[in-house]
């Protein structure tokens, strides 16, 4: 007997667009996905009903709390939430959902978790140090190193992985090391093989400085850190090349020969990816003992409650989570 693939979904910041995107995606049930896939949605029941009604989609599934292959795990808000209006009192609510999904995945209840966007500032305002989903997932799962990767969709998607994530630009050079980049490249190579079924991933690496340092005239990180890391990784069997100037690397002529580009900092590569695929790309955390995907956008407070937010990225994140869960061959102990 085949045990269904089980996906957990956290609805994110209650004042943002996460709850209504979830409501829209599941307004027609789960018919867009195979019948052997089941979903557990974490969120406040009344909030999901309210947002569904605000944007004009069916709220029945949230009223009953159960439907075909979908279960609502009701997590009560600390205080009522108004679309577009942040309230630090709900900071703990967001982490409660996330913790429950993570624990379920670690226990084998879920094959993957999909996270709607949250508001980092609100969690910090609530008195909890929080730098982002990626870092929090690493801490909660005990992962020694994780890698944020954004990916487009389609047959040859653009994938951009980050050597550093949510850091001030002035802190980036000090955060780069040979060992760190070697570990990052190993994680990218392993997860592209095991979770994306790419037999021999080809990875391109950017430099840190303009023109990849111009042979040391514009910085020595390429000479002293990035090149040695690329060479060591290549010697270990990883198909990696670089460092290349970031301003010319993102050209179809080069990208067609690679499955992933590793950039040195957040805004070096993500603007390129989001310009070309925004609203349809996804965020994936590599290096975790669990599968986690997310959307490519933030909480969009200005759109919350209007019905104008596009659920394309959430659908893509769910589909990627399902694909990765099948790739690693996991089986949940139960669906709810």
Q: Which residue has better confidence, 262 or 27?
A: 262
* Shared domain check, 135 and 118: yes
d(CA 219, CA 37): 50
Averaged pLDDT of the chain = 92
One domain, residues 25 and 112: yes
Inform me whether the pLDDT recorded for 331 exceeds 70: no
Q: Are residues 16 and 136 in the same domain?
A: yes
> Do 128 and 36 sit in the same domain of this protein?
yes
| 18 and 121 part of one domain | yes
pLDDT of residue 214: 94
Q: Domain boundary residue among 270, 287, 304?
A: 287
Look at the chain and report how many structural domains it folds into: 2
126/112 same-domain check: yes
**Matching residue, tokens 């009953």:** 64
pLDDT average, residue stretch 263-282: 89
Indicate whether 232 and 316 sit together in one domain.
no
Closest by alpha carbon to 319, among 3, 24, 25? 25
The arrangement of strands across the sheet holding 260-263 comes to 66-67, 70-74, 37-43, 5-10, 112-115, 291-295, 282-286, 147-151, 159-162, 260-263, 202-206, 239-244
The angle that helices 178-194 and 227-235 make with each other, rounded to 10 degrees, is: 50
**Contacts for 191 with CB less than 8 Å, ≥ 6 apart:** 147, 286, 287
Residue with tokens 């975790």: 288
The answer to whether residue 219 scores a pLDDT higher than 50 is yes
Whether 244 and 334 map to the same domain: the answer is no
Q: Assess whether 166 and 237 both reside in one domain.
A: yes
Model pLDDT for residues 37-95, shown as the tens digit of each residue: 999 999 999 999 999 999 999 999 898 877 778 999 999 999 999 999 999 999 999 99
- Confidence grade of residue 287 (pLDDT, cut at 50, 70, 90): very high
Q: Identify the pLDDT of residue 335.
A: 37
Terminal Cα-to-Cα distance of the chain (whole angstroms): 18
Do residues 102 and 185 both lie within one domain? Answer: no
Domain of residue 303, residue span: 1-143+289-336
The answer on 158 and 22 residing in a single domain is: no
Q: Are residues 231 and 159 in the same domain?
A: yes
Q: For position 277, which CATH number holds?
A: 3.40.718.10
This prediction has a pTM of 0.91
């Amino acid at each position: 007997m085949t045990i269904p693939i089980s996906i957990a979904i956290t609805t994110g910041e209650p004042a943002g667009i996460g709850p209504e995107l979830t409501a829209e995606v599941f307004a027609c049930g789960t018919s867009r996905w195979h019948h052997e896939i089941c979903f557990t949605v974490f969120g406040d029941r009344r909030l999901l009903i309210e947002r569904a009604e605000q944007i004009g989609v069916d709220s029945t599934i949230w009223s009953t709390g159960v439907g075909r292959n979908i279960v609502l795990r009701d997590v009560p808000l600390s205080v009522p939430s108004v679309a577009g209006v942040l309230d630090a009192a709900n900071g703990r609510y967001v982490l409660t959902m996330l913790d429950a999904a993570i624990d379920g995945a670690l226990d084998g209840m879920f094959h993957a978790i999909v996270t709607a966007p949250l508001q980092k500032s609100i969690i910090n305002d609530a008195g909890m140090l929080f730098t982002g989903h990626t870092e929090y997932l690493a801490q909660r799962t005990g992962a020694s190193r994780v890698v944020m990767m954004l990916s487009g969709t389609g047959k040859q998607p653009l994938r951009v992985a980050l050597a550093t994530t949510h850091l001030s630009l002035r802190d980036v050079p000090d955060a780069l090391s040979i060992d760190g980049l070697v570990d990052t490249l190993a994680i990218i190579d392993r997860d592209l093989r095991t979770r994306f079924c790419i037999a021999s991933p080809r990875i391109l690496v950017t430099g840190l400085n303009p023109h990849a340092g111009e042979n040391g005239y514009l910085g020595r990180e390429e000479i002293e850190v990035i090149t040695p890391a690329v060479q060591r990784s290549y010697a270990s069997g990883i198909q990696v090349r670089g460092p290349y100037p970031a301003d010319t690397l993102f050209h179809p002529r080069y990208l067609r020969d690679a499955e992933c580009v590793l950039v040195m900092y957040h805004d070096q590569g993500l603007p390129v990816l989001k310009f070309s695929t925004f609203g349809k790309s996804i965020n994936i955390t590599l290096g975790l003992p669990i599968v986690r995907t997310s959307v490519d956008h933030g909480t969009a407070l200005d759109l919350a409650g209007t019905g104008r937010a596009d659920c394309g990225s959430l659908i893509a994140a769910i589909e990627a989570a399902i694909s990765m869960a099948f790739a690693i061959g996991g089986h949940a102990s139960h669906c709810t």
